[in-house]
Amino acid sequence: MMPAHSRPTSKDVAAAAGVSQSTVSMVLSGKWPGRVSEATAQNVRDAAQRLGYRPNPAARNLRLGRTRTIMLVVPAITAPFFAAVYTGAAKVAVENGFSLVVFPWPLEADGPFSGPQEAIDGMLASSMGENSLAGMRRPVPLVMVDSDPEGPAPTVNFDVAGAIGDIVAHLRGLGHTRIGHLAADINVWTFRSRALRLAEQVPELVTGRAAISIAAGFETALRLLSSPDRPTALVCDDDTLAAGAHKAARHLGLDVPGDVSITGFDDLYLAEALELTTVRLPAERMGELAMAHLMDVLEGRPAEPALLPAELVLRRSTGAPGRR
């Protein structure tokens, strides 16, 4: 007989089904075929259903020495990209009975990672530098998002080379011959990779660096756009930087896109409001896939690195150069 106001346990299910606790466990964990008869199994499932049985995670964790907890390491959950990664990852985690905790690890923290590594079963990381990764004490299962595919862990990335190729093709198609790069001043793979691809395809590239903020983007863009042979198009590593560039153009009395075209990355609300041409990153999908991969790794299933396409969204911030 189970107490009035508490949840049923596997013992209650066993009593209701007229079998032992072990049998309940076997059946409900799906390891019964060949060990329990079909009739008994059905019996157990019915009883569990009827009582509304749900296994106690604390007991299972204690027994198995696992926590069913995944840690997501991102610079800041308030950045929309990482919030979207979180959303996708949390969805898949919950579906698999895992919980997801966020550990903030600022981009600037380039030293060895020093977050808690006990009490978690696996880790999802985004935008983590090599030096930080070196801080991992024990080999905790790890999947990385938007990170070096040559690195130590499987990755889920968007197609950086493809996205840069699309931007350059778009700008070249409009007739641009002087392209500038407003680069994020952060030493992580994704930005290094964007710079590399861009340099490969744009021999005349001029580059300015800025921290990721509207104010910093504004300052650096001001400088880039004040030079005598100023670029006619500015490829920005981020919508926030693009917003800064947009403001700088207005400040200099330059028309967008008549005098200067501007592109961003992310597709934030910002991009919609300023009508920025930008690369829409599949952040939520990356989170989902990364967590699915981690689940595969934890189950010992093979996991292939994933590469998702990113769509170039055309808006009013790009056009033919010298239009006015």
User: What residue ranges bind its own copies (CB under 8 A)?
Assistant: 7, 54, 56-59, 61-62, 67, 69, 76-78, 80, 83-84, 86-87, 90, 94, 99-102, 104, 118-119, 214, 240, 243, 246-247, 268-270, 272-274, 284
Q: Residue 160: enclosing H or E segment and its boundaries?
A: helix 160-174
Judged by DSSP in three states, 235 sits in: strand
**Beta partners for residue 263, in sequence order:** 235, 277
Alpha helices of 175-213 — where are they, by DSSP H?
189-201
Interaction of residue 51 with DNA, rule CB under 7 A: no
| Binding test (CB under 7 A) with DNA, winner from 1, 6, 229, 253 | 6
Binding span for DNA by CB under 7 A among 5-13, 115-123, 187-195, 214-222: 5-13
Interaction of residue 52 with DNA, rule CB under 7 A: no
Interaction of residue 9 with DNA, rule CB under 7 A: yes
Yes or no: say if 180 and 217 are a contact pair by the CB < 8 Å rule.
no
Interaction of residue 118 with DNA, rule CB under 7 A: no
CB of 125 to its own copies, least distance (A): 17
Q: Residue 143: enclosing H or E segment and its boundaries?
A: strand 142-145
CB of 291 to DNA, least distance (A): 21
The amino acid at 138: R
Binding span for DNA by CB under 7 A among 30-38, 117-125, 283-291, 309-317: 30-38
Burial of 161 (0-12, 13-18, 19+ CB in 10 A): middle
21's contact among DNA, its own copies, none, with CB below 5 to 8 A by partner kind, is: DNA
186's contact among DNA, its own copies, none, with CB below 5 to 8 A by partner kind, is: none
Q: Is the Cβ of residue 88 or residue 154 nearer to its own copies in the bound state?
A: 88
Q: Is the Cβ of residue 135 or residue 151 nearer to its own copies in the bound state?
A: 135
Q: What's the CA gap between 169 and 189, in Å, rounded?
A: 23
Other beta carbons within 10 angstroms of residue 49's beta carbon come to 10
Q: Residue 97: how many CA atoms within 13 Å on its side-chain side?
A: 11
Q: What's the CA gap between 146 and 102, in Å, rounded?
A: 17
Q: How far is CA 123 from the centre of its chain?
A: 12
50's contact among DNA, its own copies, none, with CB below 5 to 8 A by partner kind, is: none
169's contact among DNA, its own copies, none, with CB below 5 to 8 A by partner kind, is: none
Q: What is the strand order of the sheet 311-313 is part of?
A: 206-210, 179-184, 233-236, 261-266, 277-280, 311-313
| Residues of this chain that bind DNA (CB under 7 A) | 6, 9-11, 18-26, 28-29, 31, 34-37, 39-40, 53, 55-56, 59-60, 62-65
